[in-house]
Structure 1
Amino acid sequence: GRQWDWTYEYSDYNTSDEQSLTFDSYMIPEDDLELGQLRLLEVDNRVVVPAKTHLRMIITSADVLHSWAVPSLGVKCDAVPGRLNQTSIFIKREGVYYGQCSELCGTNHAFMPIVLEAV
């Protein structure tokens, strides 16, 4: 996490000489939302993960305290600068799961949504 977005890295799908797949995930501004999208919760790049698989998430921060939280999955893990925290999840059903930063991290704290898509 960093002010005011999340950066994700899929590190399990590379060999030692390849780069990891890394991308940023920003909230979609209200003016750019499409019909049916959720205000303050939609992002430009969703995290896509497999369902019915044990997943390990390693979470950190580049600047201040953040907290990566997806309540419908029962997951909340603090993102602390200079520290690697880990949590694991097992998503039983395919679907889209929404969360947000749940640590007061500054002015735009409310604009750090998380969208996890299990396929």
Structure 2
Amino acid sequence: MFEEFLSNGSLAAVLLMVYTGNVMMEALRRDRLDPRGINSPLIIKHPVSALFMFASIPCAIWPAIYIGLYSGWVAGVISWFVLQIVGAIATIVLGMRGPALGFHSWIHRITAACIVFPTGYYLSVSSLLA
């Protein structure tokens, strides 16, 4: 079912966008829970972060559309469900929800997400156009 995507698509693009989507959704969740920024990193409150968070919204659906363009709409729907589940499990395993848990701090997570989501978009669009 996913042979066409695996042979012609970019798995790195999908992984980068899923990572970004999960980090940004968790940042938005933290922003809603802590509106004054007392227990959240201040990078979440910065206006530029809001722009990056808004620009990363398509990271929730674009990987599934991207896979679907290669392997059909059924594969796209299945991959969306699988990516949502895997992303949620990765969020828990990597400790993105716990305070000071995980393999890197919140500042590093958000900075990395701001860097990799345009890279994910670029890899996906360039492989479609090639």
TM-score range, shorter chain: under 0.3
Larger relative strand fraction: 1
Higher RCO, Cα 8 Å, sep 6+ = 2
Q: Calculate the TM-score normalised by the size of structure 2.
A: 0.25
Q: Calculate the TM-score normalised by the size of structure 1.
A: 0.26
Larger Rg: 2
Larger relative helix fraction: 2
